[in-house]
Homo-oligomer: A and B are copies of this chain.
Amino acid sequence: MTIKDIARMAGVSVSTVSRVLNNHPDVSAPIRAQVLAVVEEYHFIPNSAARNLVRPQRNTIGVITCGSGNPFHAPILEAIEGELEERGYGVCLRQVKREQDELAYAAALERSEKLKGIILLGGRSDFTVEQAAAVTVPFVCCTYENCFGDLPESAYSSVTIDDEKAAFQAVEYLHQMGHSDIALLLPDIHDRSVGELRYRGYCQALEHLDLPLRERLVLECAGYDMNFGYTAVRELLDSGESCTAVLAISDMLALTAIKALHDGGRRVPEDCSVMGLDGLETTEYTLPPLTTLVQPQEELGRTSVRILTQVIEGAGEHQHVLLQPAFRAGGSVAQR
């Protein structure tokens, strides 16, 4: 069922069908009804997605999600898709694994799909000028910026929270709640990405608060797999190292910390507090509900689209926007 079939069956031209599907005003009511009757009969619902597909002339933005199945990305992706639709752009969605080179991928996708711009949702923060040169259309880093690379600010846009500051604030909050022995659970302190930034924020907060950095409380679990996080916290408990709070750099890792503490005979938050970062809807429903800093997921997505389309349309320059996470009180942190 193509737009041509619809036109044939409705007895009108392809351009008339196109105008009806795109809600152009210059179609008479009877003709519009006739076309829509066929569209409906053949379930060729003129939804945005299908409309997009039958309009190859539409400008398309590539959206490349890094790390498949990350629940943090789902609402951002939804916001990106919605905002692109509202602005009349098509979307070409792809996901790459964490170990893949998303920039090489983006460059290839740009050519094969004739993209007008690219949104990288998550990814490495160490692009070099040489690497980025392969991408010749405007791009936005969504949820991160290129702080470990050497791209000039004018070469791309970014929309993110300040990851260092978020970790700093989380440690500060835990300290206000009476905690001084605060473990940090993260994949890798040298990941040239969000882990490294949040580790920096953690270290800065300890220094600011005049607390020692205890290396054995920095739990590197080598990835975002839940069992890695779980094992790292169980090992901490087995080591006998004293600790009254765990800050996890993602909500999912925070869940594994709560479970590990529970299985190790510690009550959360009575014996040990746990705080997450990022904020997922799911962790509002887990027991105890997670205390976390919530990223403005919808705003991250929508702002990325707004900036990118302005650059594409010549209506604005590249920008670097920092958004604020919001504190969400759960039941996983107790006053000490």
Q: How far is the CA of A130 from the CA of B42 in the complex (A)?
A: 7
Interface size on A, residues (CB 8 A): 52
Interface centre among A255, A282, A285 (most CB of B within 10 A): A285
Given contacts A45-B101, A94-B93, contact A74 B69 (CB under 8 A): yes
One of A49-57, A189-197, A205-213 contacting the partner: A49-57
Complex interface bits, A233-264 against B, C-beta within 8 A gives 1, otherwise 0: 00000000000000000001001101100100
Other A-B pairs beyond A1-B134, A49-B96, 5, CB < 8 Å: A43-B134, A44-B107, A68-B74, A68-B77, A69-B75
Would A49 and B94 count as touching, CB distance under 8 A? Answer: yes
Asked whether A285 and B255 contact (CB < 8 A) given A47-B105, A109-B53, the answer is yes
Number of this chain's copies in the complex: 2
Contact of A112 with B53 in the complex, beta carbons under 8 Å: yes
Known: A45-B100, A226-B281. A105 touches B286 (CB 8 A): no
| In the complex, per-residue mask of A106-146: 1 if CB is within 8 Å of any chain B CB, else 0 | 01110110000000000000000011001000000000000
A199: CB under 8 A from chain B?
Answer: no
Judged by a CB distance under 8 angstroms, whether A270 is at the interface is no
* Listed A/B pairs (17) with beta-carbon separation below 8 Å: A1-B104, A1-B108, A43-B101, A43-B103, A43-B130, A44-B104, A45-B104, A47-B104, A49-B96, A53-B108, A53-B109, A93-B93, A255-B282, A255-B285, A258-B287, A282-B282, A286-B286
The answer on a CB contact under 8 Å between B54 and A108 is yes
Determine if B226 and A285 form an interchain contact, defined as CB atoms under 8 angstroms apart. yes
A69 engages B69 (CB within 8 Å): no
Is A204 an interface residue, CB under 8 A from the partner? no
Interface residues of A (CB under 8 A from B): 1-2, 42-45, 47, 49-50, 53-54, 56, 68-69, 71, 74-75, 77-78, 81, 93-96, 100-101, 103-105, 107-109, 111-112, 130-131, 134, 226, 230, 252, 255-256, 258-259, 262, 281-282, 284-287, 289
Q: Can you name the residue of chain B whose Cβ is closest to the Cβ of A135?
A: B1
Closest to A74 in B: B69
Query: A268 — nearest CB in chain B belongs to which residue?
Result: B287
Given contacts A68-B78, A282-B255, A287-B259, contact A50 B108 (CB under 8 A): yes
The interface centre, meaning the residue of A43, A74, A130 with most chain B CB atoms within 10 A of its CB, is: A43
By a CB distance below 8 angstroms, the chain B residues around A109 are: 53
Q: Which residues in B have their C-beta under 8 angstroms from that of A42?
A: 104, 130-131, 134
CA A93 to CA B63, docked complex, whole Å: 11
Q: Complex Cα distance A54/B112, Å?
A: 7
Q: Kindly list chain B residues whose C-beta atoms are within 8 Å of the C-beta of A81.
A: 68
Complex: chain B residue closest to A286, CB-CB: B286
For A285, what are the chain B residues with a Cβ–Cβ distance below 8 Å? 226, 230, 255-256, 258-259
Chain B residues with CB below 8 A from A282, complex form = 226, 252, 255, 282
Nearest-neighbor residue (CB-CB) of A261 within chain B: B287
- Which chain B positions have C-beta within 8 A of A284? 226
- Nearest-CB distance from A149 to chain B (Å)? 12
Q: Which residues of B contact A101 (CB under 8 A)?
A: 43, 45, 47, 50
